[in-house]
Structure formats: C-alpha cells, structure tokens
Amino acid sequence: MSPKLFGTDGVRGLANGVLTAELALDLSAAAARVLADRGEFEGHRPLAVVGRDTRISGQFLEAAVVAGLASAGVDVLLLGVLPTPGVAHLTGSLGADLGVMLSASHNAMPDNGIKFLARGGLKLDDAIEAEIERHLHEDWDRPTGGSVGRVRPHPTAVDEYAAHLDQTITRSLTGLTVVLDCAEGAAFEAGPRALEAAGATVIAIHAEPDGLNINDGCGSTHLGPLQRAVLAHGADAGFALDGDADRCLAVDHEGNVVDGDQILAVLALALAETGRLVRNTVVATVMSNLGFVKAMKSAGLGVRQTKVGDRYVLEAMRVSGYSLGGEQSGHVIMSDFATTGDGILTALHVLERMAATGQSLQSLAGVVTRLPQVLVNVTDVDKSRTDEDAVVAAAVAEEEAALGDSGRILLRPSGTEPLVRVMVEAETQDEAQAVADRLADVVKRQLSLA
C-alpha cells in the first residue's frame, strides 16, 4: 500500500486486495470523526448517503462503509446502484453532510474505489482527505446506545436523480432515436429512464449487469459495440457511458466517434447562444485537440486550459465561476446543473441541441476539425528534468518552429511512473508521428536513467 491512500479520484485499488473491508470501514469511521472534529455535524444528527456501481465487490464494501459511518454516529441512507453524479446530486438535495460513492469508474471489474463527497456534493478538499489518512487505525471514543447511526434504504434514488436530469432541459426529444451503452454499470436504470422521460426513443445496450461484466468490452472505453448498434438500428446518435457514468463519448448516425472535445464545442456554442456560457469561456485541459481550440477561437469563445484531470478542470471552474468544462475523454461538467462530470446529463444536452437546431450530431460536431494527434510514452527516464534539459528544450523549439500554427507539441511527465509523454499534433498523421518519434529519441537520450 502506498503511504498516500487518496489519489486524484478517491481511494482505488484491487477489491479485497488493496481495498479491503477493514480499510473501507476504517476510512469511513475516520472520515466521520474528522468532519465531526471540524464542526460539520454541530447541532444535528449527521447524515450520509452511500451509493455504488454494479461491481459485486461493492456489496461487501458498502456494508463495511455503512458499518464505519454508523459506528461513528452517522445516520446512513442507502442509495443502492446509482451513478457518481447521482450520488453527488442527492448529497446536496437531501441535505447530507457526506456522500460516499463506491466505484472504480472505467477500471476493470476486480478493482473498486471509495470517493467521499462533502456537503452539497462537492469533492472533499485534499486537506481533509490527508487528515482522514492521519486518523486511520487510531483509538477513539465510540458512541453507544442511541448515539450510534441508523441505517435505512432510500428506494427512490434513481427516480429522484432521473427527474433532476430531465428538469435541466426545456425541449422535448421526441422524434430522436438514441442508442445508450450503459457499460453494464451504474446508469443501467437511470440512463434509459431519463432519456425516455425526455421523449427520446432509447435502445439500451449493455444494461444487464451481473456484478462481473461492468466495462467488459463495452462502454466509453470500447466504442465498437455502440457504433454497430447505431448503424443496425438507424439511430440518430449513440452515447457510451463508463462504469459510474460520470463521462460519455458519442457516435453520430454514420458510426463516427464524437469525442469529448467535440461534445464540449457543441455545448459551448449552445450555451453561448443563450448567454449562459460564463465570460464566453470553456475550460479544457492541455490535452484538448488544437482543432477544438481553433474552433472556439473562430466562434469568438475563449478556452481556459488546465493540467490533465477533471479535478483540475473543476477547480478552475469553481474558482472563476465558469459554467462549462471538460476533457477529451468525455468528462463534461455543466456547473449550472452538476458538481461533477455527468454522462447522462451530457447526452441529454447534446440531444437537446440536436432537437433545437434540427441538425445531425455529425453536422454539429463538424465545427471541430481534429488534427491528427500522436502520443508516445518514453519510459525509464528522469521525468523531473523534463523542463530543465537544454537539449530537450532546443529540440522542442526547433520542431515547434517547423510546425508553426499548424501543430502543437506537449511534453508531460507522468504523475505516477518514470516516463514522459510526448504529444504532437500536426496537419497529417505521418508528420505528427515523425515529430513525436524524433522528440522521443531526444528525451530518451537526454533523460535516460541508465
């Protein structure tokens, strides 16, 4: 186990390997104690909501989390299987002091994770997560008698979340046929229900989870089945969610992939037209395709770029009050309606844009002309010297000068491994590959650990 448990998206690892029932119980009890010490529960009985995706390990981890919270005097509402954004929404709407989601998102079934949400459905501050870790395995004064927490189910969670989603759009989706790949995950009920209630004809695929098949050859990491289903059913569009449905990618009526950059562009233009795009700026990461940036510039919109990771996008949005942000991978955050990425919400608003304009998704997404993008991972290098080596810097400058405005280069040290990612965009795939390979050779030669 790493000395630091919390990563960028909670605590995640092999269920019953790294992430044991004992750890889940201890984390939850520690979280309750930390929040109590900070005065978050002052003057009322504390309340937590707990949701999970469809992984079979979520059942025993849920029991452990609930035991930890209740043993610390926190009342618990069991939401059952619900997407991460659904748990975030209900944390706020039910006035809970804490939300807990059990999921490993797009990871394979054997993994699982624990994510804590603060009051209002916001991500728990890093400082509080660090404090929780410090309180693990400590002796503490446990409540007894009537002071222990009560546990009860909240059977209307899916209905409440789906109703919230439908209230965010103002136009019926009647006449649109959509395929929704639920990834055998947390949105297998909420996703189809929300889209159907909005008026769309929905063909749901991979919506029969058995606890073992989540993300297995389906969802946003495997778009082939969605592409085939859209063509087979003659659908207007298709959307693929991941295991906890906090992101989605799309497919147009001809089976072409529509990535997160294109989805962001579609939504940015829709919000800008109605004056709801704050400061006419959309937040994206440095990995967003240059074609997206150019499309936004030509539309008179700004792009605020952050480090890679939806947490950094969300941070920038919260600090500056922006209303739209996201990643190429399909995390899209619409802060007027959600505190986190929400794949179902994203699909609804893209479909609403199609209904409002009468245009196909292919036409709407065509505002972005994606430049070929090549990513090369250079392993076994001293990533700490990426920005310091003069030879590397000179090589990058030379290649950037040759590309001019028609391309882009990004060298990004990995956050977890001894490698540097070399990303190049250019007018052709061959050119991007050639530049990436040349720079990768320089990085390997100059920064090698050998």
Q: What is the dihedral of CA 248, 249, 252, 256, to 10 degrees?
A: -160
- Radius of gyration over alpha carbons of the chain, in Å? 23
DSSP helix/strand/coil, 443 = helix
> Phi and psi at residue 249, in whole multiples of 5°?
-120, 165
Find how far residue 200's CA is from the centre of its chain.
24
| Active site (annotated) includes residue 329 | no
Instruction: Round to whole Å and give the CA distance between 409 and 403.
Output: 9
Instruction: Round to whole Å and give the CA distance between 35 and 203.
Output: 43
Query: Which of 105, 288, 323, 329 is flagged as catalytic?
Result: 105
Classify the phi-psi angles of 447: left when phi > 0, otherwise alpha if psi is within -120 to 50, otherwise beta. alpha
Instruction: Round to whole Å and give the CA distance between 200 and 39.
Output: 46
**Residue 296 belongs to what H/E stretch?**
helix 290-298
**Residue 314 belongs to what H/E stretch?**
helix 310-320
Instruction: Round to whole Å and give the CA distance between 363 and 371.
Output: 18
Written as six digits, the tokens of 189 are 């009920």
- In this structure, what DSSP letter does residue 344 have? H
Q: Which residues are catalytic?
A: 105
